[in-house]
Structures are given as structure tokens and as C-alpha cells.
Structure 1
């Protein structure tokens, strides 16, 4: 059963940021052990967390509670009574501690160290009631209030302790913490700046702690870069400062860099595995990447140590609700209520569960509790609007949802339900007013609701267009289950969609809308006869509407019955001559009958009426494609995109066309612009990822495909594309992970298995790659693919004899030129050139048109010194127009050695093809030089030498040319370097002889 839209809201919104005002600031459950850091919760205002961290933006703006923990690094506990007494005496307070008071203070300190802050608070209050002037008690009470999250009370006690003579170095950081808890960020910064001179003399750990506090205050002031600098400096001073690390992780979250946040937190957790605040934030990151199970694991680890940790209980309950594990969630909520009966968020979560269970009365009761405390809580208002809609309390739904849209005009969920409410109220014009601002989002639910609204408003043509667009859009769009079955149709779940439509369980509750979608759903499932029956029945019920006849025509067209379909479309036009949908469908009939001129005339007639009609513009583009007119095709697609900025199809088609044409850069530009308009559309993002991959922008490609994977976590093809992008970026480990995920989702995904083997091969993990090849042999015993793959892997692993065996088996199963060349290469690498040449001769005798195999044969012959046999093959390839620069280069060299003047022409052609390839440039330059064009030849030879200075033959050629033009000193230096660095090179004897001649000439 499909989950309602709020399931997705629960996943998208960080509930820690949704619950503003729901959790009293001055309360917290005690932690069980003093050795662990304790946590607190604070109430955050709009756009910020209680700790002063700006709230990370999600799908909609919200306010909330951010749970965070205070490290023990900020607690200056004094566990020994003698030390406490001695320090108190040094301070010379107005009152000396009596023995009984010292004992009570020690008891309070022990309770503090045990994490029992309520007990410590009670004992300290009792002590101070007896003697208000006890400075140490004031200081400890201030720190206790910090642990309880009561910043105002903490500030009061800390200031009193200061007045009683406690040294500033013992309270200055605690005071800043108290100001942070009250969200007085500027005051906190001022306080720290006032203490800057004194802090400069403190140890590095204390200065780091102060910088961490400053960073948190700056985050609260939304000065992100300055906060990052403060946290970074704190970590430099004290690598063990956990809150600074936590701050850097939060900065990464604000930048939506979940990977960086995860890396920072994982590094901290490796060193501080029991630090609860780190795990709380790590859980949030897991939720941000849509990994609720991993988030639950983090909460479980915290609660295993701190069973009453309120933040972890709230987080786990929230995730369990989003996963619809209601029994487990209720257990957490019951525990929270026992610990803190005043946590309003519990009502919200209970309301969400009741909503899932369609218990509207219970849901409304809990949501009313929330709104009585926090009347502007957006999520509760939205849910209350949906619940009121479901209870048919339409005026109440209108009130709540209108309030949300006034405060948050971009809230698309509120717009959808408000529009549905107005449709139920029979106010289609007001529904259109709500929906029109969202018409360019590409959201299929918006399109469906617009279609319903226009139909009810008496505009069937526009209604039909919006409904048709909705059916064609993204199949993964979320939808309320009670709305149109459109999402089910687009997602291919036709049985469910048809059942929904037949029972008229949709937001619109409109018979015509249900009938239209029912016919379209039946057609998409291939049930044309049933579709004809449904549309014919609709024609009977609505004889004056063009829509039923048009639907019948569509069903007949789907059956290939062109003339009956034409008759129904013409009937629709008789009923409404301006019903352009039928005119477009008549053009489709013309195309099916190969009458492109008639189709174009109809499309142009539509465009005369509606210049931006999407279907007509795409139809013209399709005609251009059939006519093989790429310029017109691009022009029509561009016009369609410009005229319909809310439609995804034109941009997708345009980007795909540009990619097929090889214009990758332009395709990337189109895809980027499209993704900016449709940032959550998987098809658009996938196209952006493809274009980025093809242009070499692998960082953007991997990031984009990762987004698509989040949107479609169960689509193996997306993981495959992500793996390909990682592969191109040469991140073999990440590529292998993505390919394995694709295979896990679809074990018979052959392309992914081959890609995984190739990545393992690139990473030189030969044994794992061979294992995949042999698994393919077992799974596909009649296919040569596994054997050929094994041969390639063994060749790369420098095991040519094993490769020969595998490739011989592949060749026996499926003779092919590629396999022949691979097998010949294996023989060559195994030292059996005779067998390689024999194999290629036999094959090319049977397949004389296999130019690649002929080229390989010529290369092997030349390598064996059999130039006379290689030459006719090279000449034959040249005459057939080969552009292979290696073939051209080798042919030119052989001809040059024979004094054939044609060598220069061929060498020049090779150089034109690959001027930056040193060996090609060397051949051309050497032939030029020896043809009398010495200056030109020397210039090209020197360019080749600069590109490949360690290639001895090129070096020798340059030296000869330099010597010939009277630059013997330069030639001698080159020759000396050649002989020094490569004394065993084939050119060494000639180089030595030339050097001796140069020295002799110099002596003369």
C-alpha cells in the first residue's frame, strides 16, 4: 500500500528542526555516569538551533529544537574535598566553609559528577539557602543549570559567583555557554572578546574551548565562514576538542555537504566512541542521506549507554514513525512521557501515527494539543489541514492551509491540499489561483489538480492538456494516496491505479476526471478493448463533450486502427472546432500513415491557435527527425523548451539530441539549466549526470547521480550510471561499490557485472576480476563473453598463456575479428609471433574487409623485420583510406627507407592527424629533414624531443640535424646526455660515433 505524502515529509524534514517551542528549556533527563558527556535541549527560534547553529534548510522552512551535548571538557569538576577547600580559602570568600557545608557541597559535587543534576540542584539550593555567600556552591549551581539547559538561571548564578570572588578563569567560558543557551549570540561574542586578553594566557585547550564557543555564537549569527575559521583554529590548538569538531560537522551540514559532515563525525567517533552528541549529529547525517536504519543504529548505541537520553529517544521515535514501526515508536514515546510529561513533540508524533492509521479523530486531538502550545508550527498546521480535509471539515482545512500559504507561499504540499479542498467546495477558479504559481514545477499532482480545476471551470481543452502532461511526467512523483491515481499510473502500477480510479478515491472526486484517467491507465497497460468500452460509455453519458470521442480515438489508434481513430478525432473536432488535442491526434494518424506533409499542416494549424502548444512543437521536432533535418530538430526543441518552461520533456529531448550529435558541452549547458528548474526530477538529473560524464566533469556527474540514487534507491540502472561516473574519475573503489549495488538490486544485470570486472581490472585486482569472468561462464555457458573477459584480464595480469587458452575457447564459440586480434596479441605476448601471424593470415584470408586485423598483421610482420611482407598490407590499407596514424607512420617510414618520395606525403598526413604525438612528429620531421627541408624538419624534430626527451631515437635524430646545420655544440650535449642516461640504447653506437666525429672536428 502506498504511503501518504507525509511519509516523505517525515523523511525530508529533520524533526529536530520541526519542533520549535515543544520542549521546555530547563529540563533534561540525567545521564548515568560522570565519565560521559551529558546533553541538553534548548528551544530554537526560526532558522536557528538552540546551540546557536542555524537550522539546516530542508524542503520547507521550519523552526525547531536541536539536541546537542556539552563535552566534559567544559566541566571543571573538583572531586576532592581538600582541594576544594584549599581553593576556596585561596579565594578568600566572605564566608569560610563550615565542615557540615563542605560535606554537603561534596555530596552535590558527587551528584553532579554522577550526572544526577536534579539531585545536585536540590542540594545546592538547600546549601545556599543556609548561606547565600558560598561562592563554590554558586559556581557549581551555575554549571548544574547549564547541564539542565537553563541558561538564564545559569547566568544568574555564575554572575553571583563572580561577585563573590571566584576567579574569572573559572567561570568566563561557562558564562558564554549560558548566553548561548539563551540564544544571545552577540552577547556571547562580546563576553568572550572582553575576556580575550586574559584568555590569551590560558593553556591551548582553554583557548580552543573559547574559540569553539565563539564559533557556535557566530553560527547563531549566521556568520558561517567566520564560525568555520573559529572551529578550525580551535581544532588546531586542541585536536581533542570535540565541540570544535562537532561545529565543523554542523558547518558542513549547513553547506549541505553531507559527505564532509559524515567524514568529520566518523573521525571524531573513532576517537570518542562514547560521545553521545557526536552520535546524535551522525544520526542526523544518516537521515539526511535517507539511511534511516543507520540512524537508528546510532540512537541505539546511545541508548545502550544512556537509556534515558531524551534526544536519542526523540530521534529514534521520529525515525520509527517515519518507517511506520508504530509499536516501537510508541514504546519510545511512553518512556519520554515518563521522563518528561511536558514534551509537546510527543503529541505531534502520535498525531502523525494516527494520520497514517487513518484515525482522523485521534490525529486531530493530538495536533490540537500541539497547536495550543505552538500555534504557528507549520507541520502541525499542514497535517491538521489534511486531517480536516479527510474529515470533510472543508472550511477548517481551508483556514489552516491558507494560513500556511500566507506564511510560506512556496509550500507545495499545502497548495495541493488547499486546491483539493477548494475543488470539493466547488470553487475551481480559486483552486487554479493556488495551483498556477506551481505550474512550472513539473509536479504531476499539480498538473492533475490543474486538469481537474480547468475541467470543473468549463475549460475541457486545458484540462485535457494538463492531465496528459501529468501522465507523461516523472513516474516517481510522490502523491497523497487519496488524490488522483496519477502517480500510480506514471509509476507503472496500473492495477492499483485502475482500482483507485474505479472507486473514485481521489482528491478531485470528479467523475469526468476519473473516467479520463481510467481510459489512459487502461491504454498504458495495453488493455485497448477495455479502454474503448470505458470511453464509449463516457461518450454516451457526455454526448456533447469532445473528450470522450478523443479518448475513443486514442484507444483505436493504440490498436493500429487508423481510419476508425481518424473518424473519432474528427468527431471531437465537430463538437469543438478549437479542441486542439484532437487536431494533434489527427496529425499522429497522418504520421502513422506516412503522410508527413498533412501532419505538418495540422501541427502548424495548432500553433497558429496556440504558439506554445507543447505537443505540436514536439510533433514538429519529430517530423524534423524523420526528415533527417538536425538543424530544424534543434530549433523546434529549443522553441518547445522556451515556450514551456514548466515541462521537462523538451529539455530532455534537446539534451539527448545534442549528446547524440556529439555536442557534449552544449548538452551540459542545456542539462544544467534544466536541472536548475527541476532540481528534484530524476530524469532531468540523470541527463545532467550523463552530460557531465561525457564532458569529463566527473565531480558534478558523481554528485548528480548520487542525488538520483537518493530519489530512486532501488533502481539498479542509476547505481550503474553512478559507477560509470566514478570509473571515469578513476575512483575505482567507489565505482566498484556502485556496480556491486546495481548487481545486488538486479543479479542478472550483465552490463554491471562486466563493468565491475573492468573496474577491478583497472584497479589491478585480477583475482576478483577473474572470479567474475568465471561466474559469467557458469551463468551463460553458451556465450563467449565470460571466456573473452577472462582472456583480457589474464593479458593485463601478464599471464599470456592463460589468456591464450581462454581466448581460444571464446573464438571457438563465436568467431569475431576482435577476438582474433586479442588472441593474436596473447600469442605475441607469450613470445609466439609465428602463431599470431598465422592466426591473422588465416582470418584475413577469410575476412579481407577486416582492416583492423590486417593492420595488426602488418604491425607484427614489421616487428619481426619482415618489412617486405608488411609493405603491401600497409599500402592496401592506405589505398582504402585508413586514418590510423600508426599505420600511416609506419608506411611512411618503410617508404622513406626505400627512397620513395611518397613517404613525405604520407608522413605529413599522419602528422596532421596527430601533431602532438612525438613518434609521429619524429617520423615527419626526419623525412622532411632528409628531403632537403632542413630548418622545417629540425623544428618539428625539436618539438618531438621536447615532448619525449627520453626517447633515444628522437634524440639522435635531433643531434644529427643540429650537427648538419652547424650547431655541433648543441648536438654534442644531446649525444653526451643520451650516452650517459641510455648507454645500452640501440642508437648508442651511432651516437658515440657521431660524438667522436664532433670532438675530432672541434680538435681540428
Structure 2
């Protein structure tokens, strides 16, 4: 990034920064006569809070007292509440108050609020007679013109101000700013000296001197000296204090900055400057909860202030509220007139919130003549996301040409090679870049590319390099956790994520990862507590809040409560699509497809270019059976992201649901051409080819995946499935063994064991079983599979041990709980009912689980309870005759013989469709 990319590129930056800082600094029984006099005395001493109270007391007694209202407006303006001051000045204007007194203060308040167009429209043509008023208003107009970049008008306004009153301080200072903007820094400083000598008791000339010195890149000590001179004349001057704080922050002198903020708060504890820099320091310290609270107060106190809006947007960005960040940066940009730094901030927020087209539009003024590499790179990122790689690559190349040593654009070009299938070439470029830069971003990209390619050792090397660059950063620990997850090492992953949180307690990614590990281990209570604790520290953490709702729902929260929680999040995050998507998924789970359709219609109307919104809308339309509309929606998604394989995968899913296999295969082949490494697309293509009877082509496709993703087990797993499907068990065994060598996946272990047995390799199967269990004793999938296998073999003791092993890591697995309850029930173990009821708590509407628990009640002599539960099972699964047979048995035990006969006669009428007719006849004979 060039030196100019981080600050306003036009000469109007000087005007903007002066006004923005000034607007921050500005914010920080007696009878009417006595109250007014007391208020004026407080105002003269700059005791603004006390003065406000006195003048407000006057207005309570005499609401029409225009002098008190004028003084109140002046106090508010000097104290920094420009918006409140404008309210009072507007009331005075309506009452016909003396324009000579009102104009200078009203104009200044409008300038502080950023209401430049209103300021110019209201006061540029107003005829005034007082030289002092004319000079003040014209000087303020000059500042407004300067901010808008209308420098000729600014210079003309200054000349009018000086002609009216050559000794007017604001006119002199405005003249200095015009001279500085024209490039004559020496003359500008000389003009400031004239103002300082003429107005020796005022802090203003020294504040302007400090700003001119800063713009001229003078030594920080000289700038600090000017700010301290201002403080000698006005010890409570917030703007001077702000300047010193800014100097300390830029020098990363955090203790000194904190000390200055403390002095600022002492002078004006409730003022805008105190709040602003308190929030800024909290953000710098990563105290996101305090920063969020400060940002919310800033919005209430100064909703139109450019500096405040920029800081609020930064807090939004750091707390992942990207939509809100974009809104606040955008508002600040409108107020500022033009600011390259604000444009870049806005573009980053738009990209993170998925608004790629808006990001491109925002960046257009910065990618034409004299562009910055950062603007070019951001625009290229947006074009990449929009599926326009040719435009993106051109912009990346321009960025590299402007800054050959820059990492962003060079990294992006390497990633382009990787995404287009040139993995080795892209990785080599990233590795070369890592040797020539100190940027941790390159290490991060190397890690991601290697992890995706399952080159775990190379990914670990990238983490080690990152740790050397940033030894105290939480990022390296977080990436180590991700690597451990990919390797299937849950314990190591947990340790790494915990380490990341110790280094950075506000890191949402580590909290989400640990919560996911908790849930996988069946410790949903621990996950819930973890998320809740994080939200207490960081109040705006949408992903964590959505996770809380999901866990509570899994734990048995009512549908109404889940709805209420999601409604609250939709209101809290109006800029985000995720809470509405969660609402739509809930409606689909509840089979309320119409409600889901209405939600996604409104969502797409609000976010027409959001890929997430369109993707969810298409899925809802599929669920509703509206395949034509789903095709249209996914077609629009494909148009927005033409270089992404996901929309084509969705189109293929619709075509498959319509049983148009040929069309689905066409879409999947296009998707593979776009993204050869897209695992879901490859899997769907191979699966559909096999179902379509194209076994040879399916096998060829699976083997091509082995070449495209040589370190990924997917290709060999698919080959094993295809060979097993053709009863080529020996070939399946070989493929599965190769797959397991690439990644230890429990599901593949199950397939390999089954294929060995089907191939007649029983000794090999037993040896593999022993080896796998020894290396992976807590693999829930393999243990559950073995439990079922031994249950069929009537080795219930072995099955019981295996099921109990599963429950150690999956304590809420309903199927395991149910099977264990059945085994214990056969043994007459009283613990059986406990496991059965736990299974029902997990899946309260499962007919199979009800059947098990009903049997346990019946065997224990609780026939009435058995009948009640079994009737419910039959209602849920009326076509399962075995459930009716069991109901008849329990009805007999409960002495409901007539009802039992009706059930048995119904079963008898099924004839050979129900294999247990002998038992039906035996029971009928007993009635």
C-alpha cells in the first residue's frame, strides 16, 4: 500500500481532519436573572455542564426566553453537542432571533455536524451587516467548501472574511488553511503567528499550528509543543488533548495515551472526546465488549459525526458485524465528501458482507488514474468472488506492477493458479513469496492451500513460520487446532484452540471450534456455557448467538422459544442474512414450508445479490416441490457467481429430484470443469453416474479424483464403493486400504471391515478390527457398527461393551441408547429403562424408541403404560405391522381383549405380507 492510500488523497484532507477533530473536541429558589447570570459565569469558566443546567432551568420557567435559549445553544456547541445546539438554533431562527448573533454559531454547528450542503444553502447568500458576523460565517463557509474540494470557492470566502474584518481570528486561520492547501506552508504558518499574537489568550491558533505541522510531517515533538501551548491557554481544551492522544497512539505509546485520556475524562467525563478515545483504546486493547458499549454510546451522542461513525464502523468490523460496518462507513463517507481511507474501509466491509457489486462500485474512484495497490487488490478480490477471474487477474497484475514487493496481489495471483488446478505452481509462488516478505498473510495462505490439499506436513511448516513471525499471536494456535481437526486429533485440537483463547479471549473462531468439539463429544451443556460466556464478553457475536439457539433447541427448547430467540437475532442483526436463514431452516424442520417460503421471499427482496439468501431460497423451493422456481433461483445464483461450482451443484440436485438424470449430469460435468477440486461435486457426479448405470464412467471419474486430489481419501473411497457395489470385494478392500492411508476416517474403516468379511477374509477382518480399535478406541462410528454386528451374532455382552464405548463420546446418540436399552432389557437389568428414556428424550417422536420403552414397561408389569406408548408409536408409523403386533400383545396383558382382537384381525388380513402370521393366529386363539 502506498503512503497515500491510508489517508485522504485529495488536498481536502486537511480541511476534513481539522473539522472532524474540532467537532469531536466541541462535544465533550433563584429568579430568571440570577439563573441567567449564574449560567453566564459558568460559561465564562467553561463549566459547560453547570451552565446547561442553569439555562435549562430558565427555560423551564420561561420557555420563550430567547436569550437563555441562545446561551444554551452556545453552551451545547462549545461542549460538543452540535446536534443539540442546532435544535436550539433552529427554534431561534423560527422565532426570528437576531441573525447577526445566530448565523456564526449556527453555521459552526452545521459544519461540525457535517451538514455541508445545508450550511452552504442557508448562509452563503445571507446578507449580514456586522463585520465580525460576516467574517465568522465566511470563514466557516470556507471550511465547508474546502471539505467538498471546492478550493476556489474556499479561497473566495476567505477573502470576503478578511475584507469584512482583517483581525478576525477565524478568518485569519481560514486563510492559513487556504494557503496550506495551495502548497505555501511557510505563509500558512506565518498567518497563524499573526492570529496568535493578536489573540494571545486563545488556544485556537496553536491548534491550527499543530495541524499544519502535522500535515507538513514535522517532528512529533514540535506538534506536541503546539498542542501544549494550546493547553496552557485552555487547560480543559479537548481538541489539544485529542491531538496529544493521537500522537501517542501513532507512536504506539499506549500508556501515555491512556494517561491523556484520563486527563480528558477528568476535564469532561461525559464529553464526546472522552468517549471517543476511550472506545478507541478499548478497541486497540481488543476489549471488544467495552468497545461495543462505547460505540453504542457514540451513536447516540454523535450520530452524524464523521470521526465517530468511522470508529463505530471499525468496532462493527472487528466484531464481525460487517453489514453494520458498511452502513456506518458509508454514512461517514457521505459526510466527509471524499476520503480514500474511508472508501477502502467501506469496500472491505462490503466484501466481508458479500456485497461484491457494491464493493466494486465503491472502489471505482480509486482504481482509475493514480490508483493504490490496495484499492486494485480489493477490487480484484470482489471480481474474483463475482466469478470474473479475467478482470480480477488484470487488476492483480496492475497492483503488482505498482508495488512489485507487495504481498496481497502476488498472493492473489498464486491463489488464482491454485483455484484453476495448477496446485504445485501456485504453492511454489506462495513459498517463494514467504521467503521475501515479513507478511504473516502469506503463511496463512500457504497453510490454507496445503490444508485443502491435505498436505498436512507442509501446513504444519506454514504454522511454524507464522509462529516465528508472531510469537504472541493467537492465530498460529488457532491454525494448529484446525490442522489437528483435519487430522482427526480431537484432543490436540482442543488444546490448540484453548491456547488461542488464552492469547486472545475475544477470538470467536476458537470459541466456535471448541463449541463444535464439545457438541461432537456429546457435551452440549459445556458448549452452551462456552458460547454464553463469550457473548457476555462480546455482546455482538452473531455466530455464537446462533449456536446458542441451536443447542437450546437440541436440548429440548420449545418451538415457540426457538422462534422467539431467532426473531430477536433477526432484529438485532438486520444487516445479516444468517438469522433469517436459521428461521427458514426451522420452518422446514417443522414442515411449515409456506412459512419458510415467505421468509426467503422477503430475504431475497432485501438482499437480492446475496449468494447465501439465493441458495437458501432455492433449497426452500425444492422442499416445496416447486422445481421450476428452484431452477430459476439457482440459475440467478449461477449468474451472480458464474465461476462457482455450487450453483451448478444445486441445479443438478433439482434436476435429479425431477428425475432428469441427463440434465443433472450435464450440470455436474460443468461444475467439475469449473472447480476440479470441489469434493461435493465430484462425489455427486460419481454417485449419479453409478445410479444411472454408467459404472465404468463412474469408476473413471473416481480415479480422476485420485489424480486431482492425490492426498485426499475421497477418490479411493468412491472407487471402493463402486467395486463393492459390483461384488468385487477384493478390489474394494484394496481401494479402502489406500483411502485409509490418506486419512483415518471411521466410515471408511467400517467399509473396509465389511468388504473384508464379504471377501471371505475373516482373519484379516478380525486383525483389522483389533488394530483399528487399539489405535482408535473411541471411534464412535466403528464401535457402533461392531456393536450392531455382534448384536446380530447374539454376542450381546460384546455389543453392550461397544455401545457403552460409543456413549463415552456420544452420550446423546439415540440409536446407541435404544440398542443398549434393548440388550439390558433382555437381561432384566433395571438400568434398561433409564437408557430407553434417554433415547426418547433425544428423539421423542421415534416409533422405534417408543417400541423399546413400551416393551420394557410391559416386561415390568406396567401394561397400561406400555399400551399408551405403543399406541403413540402405531399412530406415528401406521404401516409397520410389527408395532401393531406388539400393541396387541400389550393390550392382552392389560386385559383389553376386544381391542387386541381388532389389531390382530387387521394383521391377519395382511396375509403373506406379514411374515409372523403364526404368532397372530396363536394370539387370536387365546382370545
TM-score, L = length of structure 1: 0.37
From the two aligned structures, give the one with the greater helix fraction: 2
TM-score, L = length of structure 2: 0.40
Structure 1 or 2, whichever has the larger Rg, is 1
